[in-house]
Amino acid sequence: MINKQEMLKIHNLHVNTNNKEIISGLDLLINRGEIHAIMGKNGSGKSTLAKVISGHPSYQITEGNIFFKNENITYEEPESRSHKGIFLAFQYPIEVPGVSNIDFLRLAYNCKLKKLNKQEIDPLSFFELINDKIQKIDMNPLFLNRHLNEGFSGGEKKKNEILQMSLLKSELSILDEIDSGLDVDALKSISKNIKTFANKDNAILLITHYQKLIDYIQPDYVHIMNKGKIILTGNAKIASNIDKYGYEYVSLKE
């Protein structure tokens, strides 16, 4: 049997912010080709974990390690993690007035090419590339000329995150509440895009507290997080039990 390649491995992670411990001894292993979901109550530390994996400077790792493709990235800069292939779709994407969406996307794309010692792409060729991507995710091309996320609805911001993910072809994509604020149709469409993007060479970590996304995407593993730790791991069935019985269901299993 071929050994699976470890994409993300987190060992005994402890994280503080403002002298408060938020992640308390978390372990997680995601192999290439897998889709994982993390669920958990508000305040259990899900977004903190997402930010720490991508290198957010406001959080201090006090113990433990994060490995990406067998390389220790615990103390690496966010830029370097991004160039190595980690992408984070924010729970609350930031509006950047004055920066056009297409310029932002092209700069991000060219930064990556540069890091890979490849030639940067000119605006015209980029326009062709991004138009192809935007059509594939059913997004209106008019969004390219708007300012980054400015005045976008919740669903449009999330779609724009998906566009970035597919453009950068990230190997590990962390999608923090990509489903929040979406109506049923938008949720279906985003789920479809995520499923199309997922393949044997990448990995996806979904963070959510709703079952719908899990129903649509059917991740390989579902983890339940509580008080900064993963307390239960199973398949998509866990999510439907939580939907039926609430998070009490998990405390009964502990």
Site for ligand ADP, rule CB under 6 A: 17-18, 22, 40, 42-48, 58
Minimal distance in Å, beta carbon 47 to Mg ion? 3
- How many beta carbons lie within 10 A of that of residue 214, not counting itself? 26
User: With CB under 5 A as the contact rule, which of the stretches 47-55, 120-128, 152-160, 209-217 interacts with Mg ion?
Assistant: 47-55
Residue among 174, 203, 168, 233 nearest 69 (CA): 203
Residues with Cβ within 8 Å of residue 115, at least 6 apart in sequence: 83
- In this structure, what token pair is assigned to residue 59? 């959080």
For residue 57, the minimal CB distance to ligand ADP (Å) is: 11
Please choose which of Mg ion, ligand ADP, none residue 170 contacts, taking the beta carbon within 5 to 8 angstroms, the exact cut-off set by kind.
Answer: none
Six-digit token pair at 203? 């990995």
Q: Which does 43 bind (CB under 5 to 8 A by kind): ligand ADP, Mg ion, none?
A: ligand ADP
Separation in Å, CA 109 to CA 46, 118, 124, 190:
28, 11, 14, 22
What is the distance of C-alpha 174 from the center of its chain? 1
Taking the complex as a whole, how short is the minimal distance between the CB of residue 222 and ligand ADP, in angstroms?
A: 15
As measured in angstroms, the least distance from the Cβ of 61 to ligand ADP is 14
Nearer to ligand ADP, 43 or 151 (CB): 43
Region from 23-31, 89-97, 189-197, 218-226 binding Mg ion, contact rule CB under 5 A: 89-97
One DSSP character per residue, 96-120 reads EEEEEHHHHHHHHHHHHHHHTT-PP
Question: Pick from ligand ADP, Mg ion, none: which does 18 bind, CB < 5 to 8 A by kind?
Answer: ligand ADP
CB of 130 to ligand ADP, least distance (A): 31
Q: What is the DSSP string of 47-70?
A: HHHHHHHHT-TT-EEEEEEEEETT
**Is residue 47 part of the contact set for Mg ion (CB under 5 A)?**
yes
- List of residues contacting Mg ion (CB under 5 A): 46-47, 91
